[in-house]
Amino acid sequence: MAGFTLLTTKITDESKMKKIVILISGRGSNMEAILNANLPVAIAAVISNEPDAKGLATAQARNIPTAVVPHRAFTNREDFDGVLAMEINRYQPDFIVLAGFMRVLTEEFAERYSGRMINIHPSLLPSFPGLHTHQRALEAGVRVHGCTVHFVTPGVDIGPIIVQAVVPVPAGVDEDTLATRVLAEEHRIYPQAVRWLCEGRVQLVDGAVVYDRIAPACGGVISPALDE
């Protein structure tokens, strides 16, 4: 009888958790950061557009359902997005988390999940949307760089910003080193953003991000440092 009671309690607790589906295209390091954070969320599935994405094996090792919707099997984005949406909806998630998902989504797809889909981008948006962000940041001579979690809206990397992390760009740093430093910050802020989303502490309301019980940032960053 005690065993039955414990099982019932577990099911009840899990039923209260928000469910997320994670979309990946490769190794899924941000996905793994989310899994390692032990968030109070249910990972309903991990879906990839690449059949050989290494992140699928990571999810499977943790007994998380996986699926593949290969984009090369479709002649246009609309058909791919339609099948992808059908696969996502099978799991009835509350939110969709893009974690290195390397496909440009159609306007219809973005609007379908408006306020329920987030992405992480390796730059301080709105600077350097798209690809090759670290190389472009170095070429531009920026003194700070970083990463951004944002809601997904129609258009590439232009959705309302949830949280950002800043890293300095010292003289002489190379692209690989900068990328590594930014990735470490991605792994720190993305699980936090997912937690906020699933706890109802951040929402998209009338196109703007609204926070609840999240302390505002204090202080600032100056780079290079000023003389004393």
Catalytic residue, candidates 71, 121, 145, 150: 121
Distance CA 31, CA 66 (A): 13
Q: Residue 166 has which token pair? A: 């800043």
Buried b (16+ CB within 10 A) or exposed e, 195-208: bbbbeeebebeeee
> Active-site residue 71, yes or no?
no
Distances (CA, A) of 74 to 21, 53, 78, 137, 165: 22, 18, 9, 34, 36
**Strand, coil or helix: 114:** coil
Backbone phi, then psi, for 174, in 5-degree steps? -95, 170
Q: Output Rg (C-alpha) for the chain, integer angstroms.
A: 19
Distance CA 116, CA 109 (A): 11
Active site residues per annotation: 121
